[in-house]
Amino acid sequence: MPGAASRDTTALPLFPLKTVLFPGGILPLKVFEQRYVTMTKACIKDEAPFGVCMLTRGEEVVRSRGGGELAFERIGTRARIVSWDMPQLGIFHIRTEGLARFQVRSHSVGSDGLVIGEVTDIAPEPAREVSEAFRPLARFLEILIERVGKENFPSTLALGDASWVGYRLAEVLPLPLTIKQSMLEINEAEVRLTALAQFLKKQNLI
């Protein structure tokens, strides 16, 4: 279950996607729908984040006038745009970084289809060093980073941080999105690492 959330709510534009963004994670996006192009421009101008929530119903891209109703998980992660490019008019290529988790208390949909959430931030989980029992997971992650490419990970590696290791493994392993979402909602690093270790052992990877 998620940790304690602040009682104060703030308005946050939401980008429901068929992915899960974890704190500290890197998420590149191609933005071309007008509602999200407008959102991206505002976020760049104001140096403001937007929220990423896992899409559970509906499509990422509106293919018809009505577009259908979107449904998404209530626990998501703030995304900060760290770099951007506009290769052609009306299309953004952005690189984002995951910040704090949040919980959506309510939401509304603007005339342009952009979802605005009233959200409360979730407190970071308690800091933990990777214990001896989970060192094999940190070593396995180190190998993965070398194989996948360091450019797909944060510039600063934190292989001794239990939360960081768990988040990075959860995002790169071939887990169902519902399991990735559950990994996001856990608020204890060693609980997350225990679940990931069970998966890796079943696959004979550690």
Per-residue pLDDT tens digits for 47-73: 999 999 999 998 877 654 555 678 999
Give the domain-ending residue among 100, 121, 142.
121
- CA gap 46, 96 in Å, rounded: 15
SS3 at position 133: helix
What's the domain range around 141? 132-202
The domain total for the chain is 2
Residue 32: CA atoms inside 13 Å, Cβ hemisphere, count?
8
Which residues, in sequence order, are CB contacts of 105 under 8 Å at separation 6+?
9, 117, 118, 119, 120
Whether residues 159 and 140 fall in one domain: yes
Question: Do 50 and 145 fall within a single domain?
Answer: no
Within-domain flag for 77: yes
Could you read off the pLDDT of 69-95 as tens digits, one per residue? 789 999 999 999 999 999 999 999 999
Q: Identify the sign of the CA torsion 112, 114, 115, 116.
A: negative
Q: Looking at the domain assignment, is residue 127 inside a domain? A: no
The chain-wide mean pLDDT, for the chain, equals 92
With 50 as the cut, is the pLDDT of residue 1 above it? no
pLDDT band at residue 166, thresholds of 50, 70 and 90? very high
Residue 131 has what pLDDT? 96
How far is Cα 50 from Cα 48, in angstroms, rounded to an integer? 7
Residues 97 and 56 in one domain: yes
